[in-house]
Amino acid sequence: MNKPFGLRQQLAESQSVDEVNVLLSKSKTFELASERTRRSWKYTAKRALHRLSEPEVKSSDVKKSNDSNAKKKNYKKSK
C-alpha cells in the first residue's frame, strides 16, 4: 500500500493510536502551516482516534434494513 502524501491523509488512514500521536507531534514542526491547516490536522486526528477506539461491529449485530419493524408506511396525501 502506498503511503499517503499529506499529513491529513496519513492521520485519516492511521492504523494505531501511537501512529496518530507521532503524526500529531510531527505536525508541530511545520511552522509555516496556517491555523486552518493545523485545525484540520487536529480534527482529522480526533476522528481517527475515535475510529480506533470504537469496538468493531459485527455484521450480525447490525439490524437489517428490511426488518418488518423498520419498514416505513406510505401515507397518501389527502386533497
User: Averaged in consecutive runs of 10 residues, what is the pLDDT profile of the chain (79 residues)?
Assistant: 82 95 94 96 96 75 54 62
Give the pLDDT of residue 75.
Answer: 62
Tell me which DSSP letter residue 68 carries. Answer: G
Determine contact, residues 20/45, Cβ cutoff 8 Å: yes
The pLDDT value given to residue 14: 94
Burial 5-23 (b: 16+ CB within 10 A, else e): eebbebbeebeeeeebeeb
